[in-house]
Structures are given as structure tokens and as C-alpha cells.
Amino acid sequence: MSPQNHILPNQVALVTGASSGIGRATALALAQAGAAVIVNYIGDSKPADDAVASIENGGGRALAIAADVSNEAQVEAMFKQAIDAFGTLHILINNAGIEKDRPFTEMSLADWQQVIDVNLTGQFLCARAAIREFLRRGVQQDVSKAAGKIVCISSVHQYIPWAQHANYAASKGGVMLLVETLAQEFASRKVRVNAIAPGAIKTAINRHAWGTPAALDKLLQMIPYGRVGEAEDIGNAVVWLCSDAADYITGTTLVIDGGMTLYPSFSTGQG
């Protein structure tokens, strides 16, 4: 890690769902920017330990902590462990999320509830714990202009309806208004809250959409820019949003989708 790339020195970041995909890429990007990183995970510890090892091998500091973000007690314990280890927290990346798609008439209450619990309630619980720490500590002028920064990973489906994914789309629509409400409520305390809405990103959770030539060709028809996004595209944007270069930005959603939300079927002008 070269010092000139350290735009987040002396800061501590917690990334939920950080053992794979967008979360892992974001954790690595934050570490490369100089932040100490808490790698949250659930289940198998090896991918999280591997992420920590990658950060430490690059000269950074990291700690893996297991916690189910939908469980209040586990979230509170995770934040306590993180703050005990690193002294405070400056950045939260609310990334953990799941999909349980079903036709709406076949969607069980359990399918609905689990997605809402992880994707929306989990973001609430983590944001609440983070903001409490931001307000307790206040602004450290030598570290950041803001008391704290939160980036919630949403989806283009906070805007685009998605048949057979009613639980997922509803959760992401909720994230959008949670972000805007928190940004409004805590801006005067110098807490910035923003979201990133990824489009199609090449991760394991959606391999079915890009893993074969036929699937990839179909997907690319919806992406004017002509490529599927990489997890690093999100990680790089997160670093910028958390830096002082973005200090005047709060309550907004940065869409990173290669133009997917630009109605590509209208691109010929034929209507």
C-alpha cells in the first residue's frame, strides 16, 4: 500500500457481509485507502479470515467478527468488540443482504420476513449502533471533517420493480428512505449517510445471470455500457464517498449500473 493512496488514514471501518463479493472488495478497498477494517461475516469463517489475511499482508489492520446483522444482541456485541479493538468507529458499510425469490402468490411469510430482517432491519440495527458511536465521539478534525460516514448498499431495484422478488425490492425501497431519513436527521451532527445502488455486478449470488455465454448476452442487452460490473467498481466508489472529497454529499444514492436504469430498450429512439 503506497502512502499516497491512504485517503482514509487513522479511520476504522466496519463492513457487513464482507467475506465475499461486494463486501470483500469494499473491505479491501477501504484497507488500501488506509482504514482499519472489521470484516463481518456469518457462517464459515475461512473466507473472512482470508480477507483479513489479504489486508494484513498488504500492511493493513483488520479483524473478522461473526454476527447475524438481523439479530440485535449480536449486532451490539459486534460493535462493542470492534470499538474495544480499535478504539472507535468512523465508517459503516451496510452491505449484508440476501435474496429469496418466489412468485408472489407462492412467497411464504418466512421468505418475506427473512429478506426484510437481513436487508432492512439489519441496516437499521447497524446504523443505529454506528450513529450512537459517532455522536458519542464527535468530529475528530485531524481524522475527518465528518463525525461518521455510513454507506448503505442498496440496489437498482430500489427504483425498478422486480417480479418474483417482491421481498427484495421492498427491502431496497426501504433502504432508500432509511438513508434519506437518517441523513436528514443527523446532518447537523456531521454524520453523512448515503447509498450505492449497484446494477448487475459479477458476484456468486447472481452467477446464473452471467455465468454462461447465453445468459451474459441477454444481460448485456440491459447494460448500455457493454460490460457487467465488478465488485471493485463498488469498492472504489465507497472509498470516495467515505473520504473528505465527498464531504458535502449526504442523503443521496449513487447508481452504479453501466446505464441499466436508462431504459436501454429506448436507445434507438424508435419508441
**Residues labelled catalytic:** 168
Residue 112 makes CB contacts below 8 A (sequence gap 6+) with 166, 167
Cell of 54: 489479504
Whether the Cβ atoms of residue 119 and residue 91 lie closer than 8 Å to each other = no
d(CA 240, CA 235) in angstroms, rounded, equals 9
d(CA 216, CA 270) in angstroms, rounded, equals 25
d(CA 53, CA 142) in angstroms, rounded, equals 29
d(CA 139, CA 144) in angstroms, rounded, equals 7
d(CA 156, CA 146) in angstroms, rounded, equals 27
Phi, psi of 202, rounded to the nearest 5 degrees: -75, 90
